Amino acid sequence: MNKKRGYKLKYDFDRVISRENTDSLKWDLQKHIFGKDDLIPMWVADMDLPVAQPIIDSLKKRAEHPFYGYTHAGSRVRDSVVERMTKKFQWEIDPEWVVFTPGVVPALHVAVRSLSHPGDEIIVQEPAYHPFFPVVKNSGCHIASNPLRLVNGRYEMDYCGLEDKFKAQSGRLPCHGRAKAIIFCNPHNPVGRLWKKSEIIKMGEIIIENRGIVISDEIHCEIVFKGRKHTPFASISEEFQDNSMVCMSPSKTFNLAGLEVSSIIIPNKKLRNEFLNTMAGIVPGPNLFGYTALEAAYRDGDEWLEQVLNYLEGNLEFLTSYFKKRIQGIDVIETEGTYLAWLDCRELGMDNQNLRSFFRNNAMVAVEDGYIFGKSGSGFVRMNFALPRSILEEGLGRIEDAVFKLQNG
């Protein structure tokens, strides 16, 4: 992006702010998860960059009101989601379509259970965000894996494979057209693809022609680079709208994961009622501070967002250049969306366990092991680059030193 303009408030994302002793999953559970407490954490998908000041101010103002009783999504909250979809994606939605949940992952559990029966198949395109797998399995369903294809350093969907999932030998068991839905991810976590509208249409037509439903995880939808444009699945046509559930949240865009608020957009009334019935008594709505943060982010967060996207794009360019010029044996798959880099480490010639040990014990950085995203993630790792540049540089320097020692004895 690299825009230069005057801001009412200029954020300093180079400033390093300690998150230790704040009950941060990323920082304070290192010893428990990795067996070490001296790694640079570049794994969990939240930012080590400060939140927009208008969000902080809104939370402070709400906290000063001396009642924290039961709450609901009022008209201001719903309207903020409606207005956001119009402003960012030119997608006109009805406030009634929006269901609020404490997160996208809980919503995925509800979605799969609401439209399937035990033994049904749900399509997942590996490498895939690893919570997708328990979402399917814990619903009593089977995973019908349709791996993405890596072609000349770029991931593509396998449309022929997708069609095959509705034929007699779909997934694990002999069946006939038992795939009920696909969990689609756009931008794709972990590989970083922002799917083109033409790609989405081709995929969606296959699913809908076979009477499937698209559960679309679009939580990273506003973290996109180089002037690219995100296309919400349900915005494409009435037919797509009628056969989908779109999962969005300000949590990735505005770094609000700890406040647990997501908006699930379900235009089809029957699907929405089934979702709500499944959700009732099992998954609660968000808390009042989540609603407060969502409204503030969507209303007053764009100045911060423009600055953070500039910073993230700079980090991505720095990271990509660093690997290309200074680290042999690790390739960066082009990241079109998300603040997560997908690193191809297969040239290092390690199996999954040795690669895991290499990053933890030699490079001293905490990354996500690629194999947890499915079999096709073997030999890869996922790295979070949403952090101050100095810490990113230190982490890359550690990897550079470790690779040099590995290759030069």
Q: Given this model, what pLDDT does residue 173 score? A: 45
Q: Given this model, what pLDDT does residue 7 score? A: 84
| Tokens of residue 314, six digits | 């700079």
Cα–Cα dist 128/372, whole Å: 9
User: What domains can be seen in the chain, in order of their start residue?
Assistant: 25-53+302-408 (3.90.1150.10), 68-299 (3.40.640.10)
- Ramachandran bin of 379, using left for φ above 0, alpha for ψ from -120 to 50, beta for the remaining angles: left
pLDDT above 70 (res 248): yes
| Tokens of residue 18, six digits | 């300690």
Relative to beta strand 380-384, strand 368-369 is antiparallel
Reduced to 3 states (helix: H, G, I; strand: E, B; else coil), residue 227 is: coil
Whether residue 244 contacts residue 83, with contact meaning beta carbons closer than 8 Å, is answered with no
Q: Given this model, what pLDDT does residue 281 score? A: 87
pLDDT above 80 (res 84): yes
Tens of pLDDT, residue by residue over 330-369, are 999 999 999 999 999 999 999 999 999 999 999 999 999 9
Q: How many CB atoms lie within 10 A of CB 147?
A: 18
- Top pLDDT among 175 and 344 is at 344
Whether residue 116 contacts residue 274, with contact meaning beta carbons closer than 8 Å, is answered with no
For residues 45-53, give the mean pLDDT: 98
pLDDT above 60 (res 3): no
Whether residue 178 contacts residue 119, with contact meaning beta carbons closer than 8 Å, is answered with yes
| Tokens of residue 199, six digits | 């790609």
What are the counts of helices (DSSP H) followed by strands (DSSP E) for the chain? Answer: 15, 15
- Top pLDDT among 370 and 5 is at 370
Q: Given this model, what pLDDT does residue 149 score? A: 98
Supply the pTM of this predicted model. 0.95
Q: In what order do the strands lie in the sheet with 340-344?
A: 331-333, 340-344, 380-384, 368-369
pLDDT above 90 (res 68): yes
Q: CA torsion sign, 370 to 371 to 372 to 373? A: positive
174: confidence class by pLDDT, cuts 50, 70, 90: very low
The structure tokens 């089977």 sit at 142
**For residue 147, what are the contacts with CB-CB under 8 A and spacing of at least 6?**
125, 126, 127, 158, 161, 374, 375, 376
For the chain, the 3-state helix, strand and coil shares in percent, each to the nearest 5, are: 45, 15, 40
Tens of pLDDT, residue by residue over 101-142, are 999 999 999 999 999 999 999 999 999 999 999 999 999 999
- Top pLDDT among 171 and 146 is at 146
| Tokens of residue 120, six digits | 């049904």
The DSSP letter of residue 48 is S
For residues 233-256, give the mean pLDDT: 99
Relative to beta strand 179-185, strand 213-217 is parallel
178: confidence class by pLDDT, cuts 50, 70, 90: confident
Tens of pLDDT, residue by residue over 278-310, are 999 899 999 999 999 999 999 999 999 999 999
* Phi and psi torsions of 310, nearest 5°: -60, -45
Q: Given this model, what pLDDT does residue 167 score? A: 75
